[in-house]
Chains A and B, each alone.
Chain A
Amino acid sequence: MKIIACLKMVADPDIAAFDVQKNELTDLYPVMDPIGHQVLEAGLQLREASGGRLTAVCLGDATAEAILHYALHQGTDAAIRLSADELADTDTWARAQTIAKGLSGTPYDLVLTGAASADSGSSYMPAALAAHLTLPFSTHIVDIRRSESPGVTVVKKLPHGKRETYNLDLPAVIGCAPGISIPRYVAPFGRVYRQGEQKAVQTLAVELPPERTVLTRTVDVMASKPRVKAGINITALSMADRMKMMRGELGTKKEVFTGSPDEAARKIMRHAQLDSTDK
């Protein structure tokens, strides 16, 4: 099976901050989109299970080569950077159009993308890409298996934890949801890493179609609300729980009560009453 894993470079979503004064994003550390790690791993697992070839593809400037080198070190067979001018003012639809054009010379059975990226999160890259490639697609997929009939069996994540399993004919586009895989660790200078070192990132210049359509434009960006965990006796926790807490997987949500002292006290009392009622 010939698989293509579409990766994206984003500003580290945990670190990027919003400067309210300047009305712009700051602390932009370019990293691979977190879902991209899982897309890549899903591709590697599928290739290992059914053979074939896995190619990592990324649309972007030369800085994007870092994640393609990472993909090669992880064990992909090839890596292609799609280079196009004037990407700055484009939206997902136009980028999908560019990627589809870039893939025209590469054979594929399955194109994997993230269901939603950590920066724009529009969630429609799989659909847009499938539309441009005129392929069937499915998104929010949490499991892909090679089926006995032609095609693949995919499991889709539905609201409230439900799962839906169905077959998808190939070629197809699949949007991978978080949880599809646990990315492997490849040690620097290990066997797989060394094999990746031997391979080069191929750059493919893609000319944007003059008739490209931009469907959406960003008009404003706002700062996110902080979430802080608190209220835990550290020494009473096991190591596992302590680490969970550190990662924000354990603990209660901290609330900040504002207003005059009386007002804040009333809010605290009300909150405590609600809390005890919940318990």
Chain B
Amino acid sequence: MSGLERVVFWLLLVAALGISGRRFIFYFHCIRKGSGRLPHDQPVRRLKAVMIQVLGQWPNFKTASIKDLAGPGHLLIFWGAVVLALYFVFLILIGEGLHISDSIRSAFAARLLLALCDIFLPLLAVGMLAAALRRSIRRPERLGPDFDAKLFWTLTLSVLLLVSCHLAFESLRLHLGLNPTGPFLTRALAEWCATLSLTNDQAALLYRAAFWAQYVLALTLIVYGTYSHHRHPVFSPFNIFFQSYSSPGHVPLVDFAKEHRFGASCPEELDRKQLLDGFACTHCGRCQDSCPAHHTEKPLSPKQLITDINRCLLANGSGSPGLVRTDQPSGIAMETLLSCTTCGACIEACPVSNRPLDSIIALRRHLVYEGLFDPGHATTLKRISQDANPWGMRWHRRAQHFDLPIARADEHYDCIYWLGCAAAFDDRARRIAEAMAAVLKRAGLRAAILGTAEKCCGDAARRIGDEGLFQKLAMDNIHLLNGHDFDFILTHCPHCFNSLTNDYRPLGASFRVVHHSDVLRDLVRSKKIELHPAGGNMMYHDPCYLGRYNHGYDAPRSVLRAFCSDLSEFERNQENSFCCGAGGGHMWKTTEKGRRISVARVKEALQTGPDHITSACPYCLLMFEEAIQTVAPEKSVAVNDIAELVQMYMR
């Protein structure tokens, strides 16, 4: 490079890094506006997660299939970009910029890097081309709704041009004798250049043109990336490092004595991790693709929600407009927030550890604070508030004439059977509890219920966003349970299980809570109950609050396998399970857009024609029974809880 060229080289670099750097500082300040601190405990575990999720690209493979090869494609792009970035820093910026190219290139590491470039840069080009073709031909729905194909093609062509310029630069360098040797592809191209009968001047001119072209293109891509969602390569590793390790349904407590208001009305009232999510989002749409609300045409896309929050954060210089659209044209619609079933599928699917559900709960809390409710939710919360159950029954009718004694404070019990509102009031759900009571009696466990003293666990209230009502119920229940002597609390409802286990702990509860699937498994294993073999095919549905929230995948299957030899799975099962549509207060919501989630799930089951659909949650059971009557009343598919089946096949 001549003196003038060197000046231009550094000026361009300073300009590009200045523009990008300024923008990144702005992003940094935006994230700092959030409340709280980024979680950073367990640093080794976090570093390991970064290695697996970023370097290993594991989340992209987790969701890969023959139909969806986007994950492996991203691996090519990721490693191609990494190698290209290393090449750019060491051989262009340092080598060419400081005019020490010859000494650097003689090092083994540089030769290795050049060899890697020959392998990965063509793969990067292939990956980009495949991604662009996929976006133009297959047009995956999950990339929508505001995906710009033209912009992606521009980006792809820029990368292809950059790779071409790189190969031209390296091969001409070899051709001109500036390098003694080169890796295989560069060597082959240099040999091809020799056949073109270029003069030395022509080759030198082309060499300089290729150098400047790749340099300018690389700087342009850096600046473009900073201003577009392709900034995610910078933010994603941080987002993965600072990820939350709490269960998907974890909701932070509000200290009403200290905090006058609750919920988030603007981006600044979200926490820093929630704000970082927006910068790390890759716009891949996996969250949207796994979202039951989105699948059934409800106005919710977790991806859109994250980007809307980010857009709102970036749009305001001083004083943010409201995030939730009530009387303003922009922002997130209330119906969008209320469409979430809190199933946690979006969290499971996200390759960069985003948690859209956390933001949804924070925004829902704001709605509740302002007194904005879905009519069904308002009625339900009123019922819970007055009678401690969402069913609308008077509290004194809870668990009437139940075949277990009411717990006395002066007696010891093996377990307190926490019935939950569904079994306490709904005649169908009650059969689960009756079956479980029969099993407990057979097994000789000394169990008791709490009768009318038990109150709603508060799950629905909390997921709707009514933290005040939840805490009131939780404190009453904790006080009640503290007054009894028992080994563990048994419940068949995953919502109660999650509340008693995870939600009550920060309020001072330290009970041992066991889901009935675990108890049944232990009783079967210890042969305290013996079962007849059952005929017919059984298909098990994973309740979100048992599976994703509490990793209860094996126990119910183990129970079913004890008597059923023909146990089948839904197409979407375990971590990828599809919600029944009842969670997050959806059971009580009146105004619903789109198709019904429960019907979609039942249709998925009916494709394979099971004799039984089984679950381990009263809400799933009620939703499926109703859906079957709606979608296929003529089909004799029974819906049962695992406890009912155990009682049915008990010797």
- B425 within 8 A of partner (CB): yes
- Which residue from B260, B368, B625, B629 sits with its C-beta under 8 Å from A187? B368
CA distance A15 to B261 in the complex (A): 36
When C-beta atoms are compared, the residue in chain A nearest to B639 turns out to be A235
> Would you call A188 and B371 a contact (CB within 8 A)?
no
> Would you call B378 and A185 a contact (CB within 8 A)?
yes
> Would you call B622 and A239 a contact (CB within 8 A)?
yes
CA distance A130 to B256 in the complex (A): 43
- B488 within 8 A of partner (CB): no
**Known contacts A14-B394, A15-B394; A191/B382 CB under 8 A:** no
When C-beta atoms are compared, the residue in chain A nearest to B377 turns out to be A185
> Would you call A247 and B382 a contact (CB within 8 A)?
no
When C-beta atoms are compared, the residue in chain A nearest to B472 turns out to be A188
Q: Tell me which of B282-290, B461-469, B610-618 binds A.
A: B461-469
Q: Quick one: which of A142-201 are within 8 Å of B by CB?
A: 183-194
> Would you call A190 and B368 a contact (CB within 8 A)?
yes
Q: How far is the CB of B559 from chain A (nearest CB, A)?
A: 23
- B381 within 8 A of partner (CB): yes
> Would you call A235 and B625 a contact (CB within 8 A)?
yes
- Which residue from A192, A194, A239 sits with its C-beta under 8 Å from B626? A239
Q: How far is the CB of A45 from chain B (nearest CB, A)?
A: 14
Q: Tell me which of B155-163, B385-393, B492-500, B510-518 binds A.
A: B385-393
Q: How far is the CB of B585 from chain A (nearest CB, A)?
A: 13
> Would you call A192 and B261 a contact (CB within 8 A)?
no
CA distance A238 to B262 in the complex (A): 36
Q: Quick one: which of A234-279 are within 8 Å of B by CB?
A: 234-236, 238-239, 242-243, 246-247
- B427 within 8 A of partner (CB): yes
Q: Give how many B residues have a beta carbon under 8 Å from the other chain's beta carbons.
A: 34
- B428 within 8 A of partner (CB): yes
CA distance A152 to B260 in the complex (A): 38
CA distance A45 to B629 in the complex (A): 41
- Which residue from B261, B368, B428, B629 sits with its C-beta under 8 Å from A194? B261
Inter-chain residue pair count (beta carbon < 8 A): 69
- B370 within 8 A of partner (CB): yes
- Which residue from B371, B381, B425, B629 sits with its C-beta under 8 Å from A191? B371
> Would you call A246 and B371 a contact (CB within 8 A)?
no
When distances are taken between beta carbons in the complex, the residues of chain A under 8 Å from B625 are 235
When C-beta atoms are compared, the residue in chain B nearest to A239 turns out to be B626
CA distance A190 to B370 in the complex (A): 6
When distances are taken between beta carbons in the complex, the residues of chain A under 8 Å from B629 are 236, 238
CA distance A194 to B257 in the complex (A): 11
Q: Could you list 29 A-B pairs, sorted by A, with CB under 8 Å?
A: A14-B394, A14-B396, A186-B371, A187-B371, A187-B468, A187-B469, A188-B468, A188-B472, A189-B256, A190-B368, A190-B371, A191-B370, A192-B371, A194-B260, A194-B261, A234-B427, A235-B428, A235-B625, A236-B629, A238-B626, A239-B587, A239-B626, A242-B426, A242-B427, A242-B428, A243-B392, A246-B392, A246-B393, A246-B427
Beyond A188-B472, A235-B625, A243-B391, 13 additional contacts (C-beta under 8 Å) are A14-B396, A184-B378, A187-B381, A188-B385, A189-B467, A190-B369, A191-B369, A239-B587, A239-B622, A242-B426, A242-B427, A243-B392, A246-B393
